[in-house]
Amino acid sequence: MRSLAVASPLPPAAAAAGRRRPRASAREVISQCWKCEINQYRPLGNPLRIGHSQGSLQRHGSKNLLAAAAAISVEQAEVSTSLPKGDMWSVHKFGGTCMGTPQRIQNVADIVLSDSSKRKLIIVSAMSKVTDMMYNLVHKAQSRDDSYMTALDEVFDKHMAAAKELLDGENLARFFAQLHSDISNLRAMLHAIFIAGHATESFSDFVVGHGELWSAQMLSYAINKSGVPCTWMDTRDVLVVKPSGSNQVDPDYLESEKRLQKWFSRQPAATIVATGFIATTAENIPTTLRRDGSDFSASIIGSLFRARQVTIWTDVDGVFSADPRKVSEAVILSTLSYQEAWEMSYFGANVLHPRTIIPVMKDNIPIVIRNMFNLSAPGTTICKQPANENADLDACVKSFATIDNLALVNVEGTGMAGVPGTASTIFSAAKAVGANVIMISQASSEHSVCFAVPEKEVAAVSTALHARFRDALAAGRLSKVEVIHGCSILAAVGLRMASTPGVSAILFDALAKANINVRAIAQGCSEYNITVVLKQEDCARALRAVHSRFFLSKTTLAVGIIGPGLIGGTLLNQLRDQAAVLKENMNIDLRVIGITGTSTMHLSDIGVDLKQWKELLQKEAKPADLASLVRHLSENHVFPNKVLVDCTADTNVASHYYDWLKKGIHVITPNKKANSGPLDQYLKLRTLQRASYTHYFYEATVGAGLPIISTLQGLLETGDKILRIEGIFSGTLSYIFNNFEGTRTFSDVVAEAKDAGFTEPDPRDDLSGTDVARKVIILARECALRLELSDIPVKSLVPKALRSCSSADEFMQKLPSFDQDWDMQRHEAESAEEVLRYVGVVDVVKRKGSVELQRYKREHPFAQLSGSDNIIAFTTSRYREQPLIVRGPGAGAEVTAGGVFCDLLRLASYLGAPS
């Protein structure tokens, strides 16, 4: 083969005259090189076939008319071998990652060989990084950077090394011969570009396309090596495309089918390896299919062959319901319709370029996305939507996608209404500056039009609109052209959303409950997608909120536990034992992502292993920091719904509830300090909670696991009028007075309760009545009584002389000296057939409360308690003659933690879980 001339050849007349050769222009240099390439340097074994007979006559002249005529006869004979089309063909496409190493190329060969289809066509990309290397060659050459020579050697070495590892014998020799020839020609061509300092697009495309040529040859030889006949196709001999604007090309199916028939007539193979990405124009000038060209090649050729299906092999298991980098719980979709895949790709999902779908869509050829590195994964099938698919909520929304770094442009004014051409003027101004309008939303009154554009383009759009509407703005016909920066788009995609009622309601309900504000909405009448614009800082949380609502469970809750002591630790154990059951039976997913005590804390992004939470809190813990726990929960974008559970009795922790609720974090607590604290702070807290979608539950503050608060709220919400609430609210004091009978002394019963763990470490905390007073004030405030804790008179059971004792031990030592007084009170009560009970009272009619020691007849419900049971009586308009009684255990870690757990489930129900 002759070497390629570097400069334009001298015209014969000029050579004969002996004149000096003039310096060629850049265009002439490249033009001459291109002609040489077309006529002389097509890859060996794959000569230019379009116009083959004419080319033979032109190149060889009259001396070779006989040979040319023979070629014509051969070609005419070959055309009679018709190309079989239909289901016998399966098409596989392997990208650069799949072809990245010799071992991976061999794996591709194994996959092809394992396909039982009668006929197979394989589309391949260049080896990983090779396309970038080839573009870099052109860039260096036209920049007159002579390091392109070294870079070309690297390309040669990469393919030499791969071929040596992959091939042997005749196959290796054939590939080496072709590679040497191609590299020699490329070296000359790049030198021509280096001299000219310029490369046309077609010349650049030709250089870059060699990566696909080499990978196709290597794979075909690897398949041949296994004993299966295989040939390779330079798709520039077959695939004809024409420019279509926006730097894209459209296939010429009619011409491509003609050329495919001619190609197959000469090489009627059952297994064909074809180059992806590259094609030719109608003038036989090399070009490419631009972005995602290999996928596009596969779908076009699949359509030309009328293949059974096109399999796109990649490095993921299929198409996800959302970006798995943003939603760790994203699931693989088993099927997608063509339209759904189209919508998803528009909104940035890593599926397929919309162009890839068009060729197969017209012939109803399925596309299957599969993972070459995980053959056990079935992948995702993109096909015509099955007619019998159930239109339930789980099926109607297939996926969610987002686009970040957008700005919202709002054009607003009363003068826009009814004025023809306003929208046209707006969008022509955007077009004039080359802006990409991604979404449009317009009020039906025509009072405002808003649209989203990339952030980097919005300044030019704003300037253009202000210039175009200068007079209208000055006259007041338009009130403003406003730019809202820092926006994102969230799109829900699904073919069957249009036929399924309530999809939009569920979508926006999920956003509202995640405390997400929507700036704009767009939805086409086809309802393939619902698009919302929101703050970019909210986008990840919004994506997780809606994905969780439709895909994971009715509710996924991220839980932070404050105070893993007696109650908190018991709650953690209950969650450990029940979480799997809740997820399976009720579709509720509870994830504890943070635990903090007084000295240490443990944080997790996706969920603490509750089987070893105690060990983690000791071995892998950080210093306790409540602010860090809250920040970790608030900034976690894996789970949309977040709740803090305060299992302490700490006033300082309770003081943060307002801020947490304002951040969109739900709060659940048995801590009484917030609801019994200063009235103004309580009212502020409840006002915020009622005005937002953030929930605040505190059932366990009054009756541990008993439904006291919920019963009271139910009565009020159904219109009943509360007259009086009276009850034994302290499990500790209930135990003491239930056992203070016969000959037992008061101090003995208190000591027994303390030893059994029913009292606080210092029994005075129980005997003082303050805890009961807090419960009374909580119930009073639920009944809309604006009382402070100081408004509740409390009869303390701690003798005045013992209130100043320095320790609990001292108190217990001195308490027996007051047993005689208690014996006297008990004797008086027993003489009247009564018992002593320590009660709290809310008198709603008189708008007051009290905490005192009272006597009840033995037949009274309060006199019939046992153990540490609590009992509460509601006297209402409906239950006036016979009060509504709630009775049961009112103290103990198990029941209190159970009450908190019930609040967690109630929160899940409020957020959408089954009730």
Q: Annotated catalytic sites, by residue?
A: 775
Q: What residues does 561 pair with on adjacent strands? A: 595, 645
CA atoms of 861 and 858, how far apart (whole Å): 8
Q: How many residues does the chain have?
A: 915
Can you say whether the dihedral through the CA atoms of 308, 312, 316, 321 is positive or negative?
negative
List the one residue out of 94, 116, 117, 118 whose CA is nearest residue 106: 94
Count helices and strands in the chain by DSSP H and E runs: 35, 30
Backbone conformation region of residue 521, classed left if phi is above 0, alpha if psi is from -120 to 50, else beta: beta
* Closest by CA position to 575, among listed 907, 889, 902, 906: 902
Give the three-state DSSP class for 252.
Answer: coil
Hey, which residues does 279 pair with through a beta bridge? 287
Alpha-carbon distance 441 to 851, whole Å? 61
Half-sphere exposure of 6 (CA within 13 A, CB side): 9
Say if CB 755 and CB 762 are below 8 A apart: no
Tell me which H or E stretch contains 259: helix 253-266
Partners of 490 in the β-ladder: 402, 532
The two tokens of residue 536 are 């970019």
Q: What is the enclosing helix (H) or strand (E) of 824?
A: helix 819-831
- What 8-state DSSP symbol labels residue 517? P
List, in order, residues 6 or more apart from 67 with CB less than 8 Å away.
56, 60
CA-to-CA dists, residue 237 to 380, 498, 767, angstroms? 32, 45, 96
How far is the C-alpha of 727 from the C-alpha of 311, rounded, in Å? 71
3-state class (DSSP) for residue 46: coil
Task: Give the Cβ contact number of residue 69 at 10 Å.
Answer: 13
How far apart CA 525 and CA 669 sit, in angstroms, is: 46
How far does CA 879 lie from the centroid of its chain?
52
342 within 8 A of 384, measured Cβ to Cβ: no
Residues 303, 239: contact at Cβ < 8 Å? no
CB under 8 Å to 263, separation ≥6 — which residues? 49, 233, 237, 238
Q: Give phi and psi for 774, each to the nearest 5.
A: -65, -40
| DSSP symbol at 414 | G
823 token code pair: 């014996």
